[in-house]
Amino acid sequence: MDQTKVGLSGSAKNNDRRDQKGRTAVRPESRERACPAARLRRRPCGALPAPSSRAACSRDTRLLGPAKREAWLQLRAEIEALTDSWLTLALKALTLIHSRTNCVNILVTTTQLIPALAKVLLYGLGIVFPIENIYSATKIGKESCFERIIQRFGRKVVYVVIGDGVEEEQAAKKHAMPFWRISSHSDLMALHHALELEYL
C-alpha cells in the first residue's frame, strides 16, 4: 500500500482577503515532491465557476434571499475588482488541489469557527473546504491545530503549509513542514503554476 503525504497550510486572519490564503493539502510518498494535498489517485478536475459569476455563489448563498444575495454578489464583484481578482486566483489553486482524489484542502484560521464557516460559504469556498477540514485557532493557536491535523492524517504524509503569517510559518517549521508564502498575486500565480505542472 502506498504511503501518503499530507500537505498543510494555515493562515486566514480576521481579514476577508487573507481568509482566502490559509489552506492545506495532502499527498502520498510515491513522489519526493511536497504537495499542499495528500495524493492518492487522480480524477478529472471539476470546473469551479469564477467567483464573480452568479452560479459560483448560487448554492452557498441560498439562505440570504434574492435581494440580499444579489447585493452580496455585486459587492463581491466590486471586492474582486479592487483586489485584482485575488479570490479568483486563490480558487484556481484550491480547485486544482481539490480535483485530485489524493489531495485535500484544510483551512486553519484565527477567525472564530462560526464566522469562518460563514465566510467560506459567502465567498463560495464550501466546495473546496469541506466543513470537517476547517479548524479555528482562536483559542488553541495554529500549532495545536496542526498537531490535531497530524493526529488525524498521520505522520506518513507530507504537509505543505500555505500562508502569509509568522505563526503558521513557525508551526510549519516546528513540524518540519514545507512552507509556501503567499504575500502577493505573483505568489498565488506561482503556486497555481507549480500545481499545474505537478511540481506540487
CA atoms within 13 Å, Cβ hemisphere of 118: 10
94, 125 Cβ separation under 8 angstroms:
yes
pLDDT at residue 134, as a whole number: 97
Pick the CATH number of 6-45+91-122+129-196 from 3.40.50.12350, 2.70.150.10, 3.40.30.10, 3.50.50.60: 3.40.50.12350
How do residues 15-74 score in pLDDT, each as one tens digit? 444 444 444 444 434 333 333 333 333 333 333 334 444 444 455 556 778 899 899 999
Contact yes or no for 94/105 (Cβ under 8 A): yes
In this prediction the pTM is: 0.67
Q: Which residues of the chain have pLDDT under 50?
A: 1-7, 10-57
2 assigned binding-site residue = no
**Residue in 199, 21, 195, 23 with CA at minimum distance from that of residue 99:** 195
Helices (H), 28-184: 54-58, 66-82, 86-98, 113-122, 141-153, 166-174
For helices 141-153 and 166-174, the axis angle rounded to 10 degrees is 40
